[in-house]
Amino acid sequence: MERQFTPGTAELIAGARRHAVGDLLRRTAARYPEKTAVVADGRRVGFAGFDLAVTRCANALKARGMGKGDRLALLSHNSWQFAVLVFATARLGVVLVPVNFMLGAAEVAYILAHSEASGMVAEGALVPTADEAIALSGLSGGVRGKIGPAGGPDAAGEGWEDVDSWIDGGDETPVEVLVDDDDPLRLMYTSGTESRPKGVLLSSRSLIGQYVSCAIDGGMSADDVEVHALPMYHCAQLDCFFSVDVYLGATSVVLPSPEPAALLAAIEAEKATKLFCPPTVWISLLRHPDFDTRDLSSLRKGYYGASPMPVEILRELRERLPDVRLWNFYGQTEMSPLATILRPHEQLPHAGSAGRAALNVETRVVDDEDRPLPPGEVGEIVHRSPHASLGYYNDEAKTAEAFRNGWFHSGDLGVIDADGYLTVVDRKKDMIKTGGENVASREVEEALYRLEGVAEAAVFGIGHPRWIEAVTAVIVPKPGAGLTPEAVHAHAREILASYKRPKYVVFTDALPKNPSGKILKKDLRVQHAGLAAEDA
């Protein structure tokens, strides 16, 4: 039926029904005012204090001309100020643009220009990069805030205000900005496989729907104490974990990076109960000498994502952390980012699986004509959910392609079994086509992890004159393992079909990774592209 209310009355109702990301912290602070919200950078702040800091920061941004719909770029490692800015921008309806701190000035400049940012906050040590990026982007005027002292030999930090002055003092008047469910609040740039990253727009509806799925299917609660060590510029740490903790009233221990010694020390010192790491970081913790000397007995919940956990590592975690239940979170930035979950009781029976669709998600595997495939057949993974983004900023063509037929197309290849469990076979770009056969790199990696002495492994294809692509493995051996390429080849012959076996095996001290812990296979392809030259 048609609503008969005047616009004024409709606005009053909208105000009473408001439920945006900026409202969540205020509500949590009302429930748990004195409970510790954030431990970071030597500070220990309760929810009431966190809420007050957000109000001050939002008012400071507003006084400097930022308002609903404006874009604020944030170039920083994890910090107390980062945490405040996440909710201060959301409260104003300002679109936060978190930027990968590993990017060079030209790459940052592209994001500034593409997002049409009207302001920027940078970590002091990154101010020189930010200054160069601003100059390259043509961005003029607007807000300039720095977190900590400027770094570098030529970094005076002129024109940059101290963000702490926004947070520690100033106007404490409650901020009253009505942010609708589908007003954009985040613009997340994908690390992507294309020449330029895409800007993914996320709204309160996307994010809060995803928070609910994480909390319920991920077994999260207000009693959690979680260490956040992976970069919060990435939506996995920021929105599957940190923001959910704020929503629920859990305690967040924020670290600038996942450096193993500091991370293990923080778990012990804060009696952390919960931790998210990609498999590469879990492996780095297991291999660190402090793992067996720190008291990790408080840990009860562990989460991983970015790639499947190798079965041998899964077994080792269960043996060395027997009281920790594990969840696998799978998704994409465009899903805010959660899509499917593998729960604790499913880990070993369905090892390698991404689980089943999360609470607010529908997931299918489809063919090239978007027709649903039966169990056991490989196709593209697609999702339908309120988690889904608003699309790609200023790119209608790519948005229409990704959302064709009313489903978000992930670009991942997968297969669903008769019980509904999804296995991600590979990214389309990571499928190796060798001698007319398709080889999933993850299947070969799982096989290599079964060889004693393999600490980490990455499998990819390189151009080959005969095979088109040759299966190639780069391996980090365990210290003192005495592993040889011949042993790797012999192991592969025992358990892999001939076309799946690595034709080239290379040992290295470390695999290249981005700050989120994903192995950079594109770098490995470039680095080892010449291996097949002698076979030409």
Using pLDDT thresholds of 50, 70 and 90, give the confidence band for residue 152.
low
pLDDT over 90 (residue 446)? no
Long-range contacts of 143-146, Cβ-Cβ distance < 8 Å, separation of 24 or more? 143/61, 143/64, 143/65, 143/66, 143/72, 143/118, 143/119, 144/119, 144/120, 145/119, 145/120, 145/121, 146/121, 146/122
Please, how many CA atoms are within 13 Å of residue 508, restricted to the half-sphere of its CB? 14
Q: Which backbone phi and psi does 413 adopt, to 5 degrees?
A: -95, 140
212-236 tens-digit pLDDT: 999 999 999 999 999 999 999 999 9
Q: What CATH code is carried by the domain that includes residue 474? A: 3.30.300.30
- Cα–Cα distance for residue pair 325/262, rounded to 1 Å: 22
Q: What is the pTM of this model?
A: 0.84
Contact 55, 23 (CB under 8 A): no
186 assigned to some structural domain: no
Same domain, 393 and 453: no
Q: Look up the domain containing 74 and give its range.
A: 19-179
Same domain, 154 and 40: yes
- Cα–Cα distance for residue pair 37/249, rounded to 1 Å: 7
Same domain, 317 and 451: no
Using pLDDT thresholds of 50, 70 and 90, give the confidence band for residue 535.
confident
276 assigned to some structural domain: yes
191 assigned to some structural domain: no
One-letter amino acid identity for 205?
A: R
105-126 tens-digit pLDDT: 988 999 999 999 999 999 999 9
504 assigned to some structural domain: yes
325 assigned to some structural domain: yes
pLDDT over 70 (residue 159)? yes
Q: What CATH code is carried by the domain that includes residue 303? A: 3.40.50.12780
Mean of the pLDDT values across residues 403-419? Answer: 95
Contact 488, 505 (CB under 8 A): yes
Contact 421, 308 (CB under 8 A): no
499-519 tens-digit pLDDT: 889 999 999 999 998 777 778
Residue finishing a domain among 428, 449, 467: 428
Same domain, 266 and 279: yes
3 assigned to some structural domain: no
Same domain, 305 and 416: yes
Mean of the pLDDT values across residues 402-427? Answer: 92
Same domain, 409 and 524: no
Same domain, 402 and 444: no
Q: What CATH code is carried by the domain that includes residue 95? A: 3.40.50.980
Same domain, 424 and 439: no
Q: Domain tally for the chain?
A: 3
Using pLDDT thresholds of 50, 70 and 90, give the confidence band for residue 436.
low
34 assigned to some structural domain: yes
Residue finishing a domain among 428, 449, 468: 428
Same domain, 251 and 218: yes
Using pLDDT thresholds of 50, 70 and 90, give the confidence band for residue 102.
confident
Residue finishing a domain among 384, 412, 428: 428
pLDDT of residue 193: 40
pLDDT of residue 194: 43
185 assigned to some structural domain: no
Mean of the pLDDT values across residues 9-16? Answer: 91
Mean of the pLDDT values across residues 382-390? Answer: 98
Selected residue with higher pLDDT from 280 and 1? 280
Same domain, 261 and 174: no
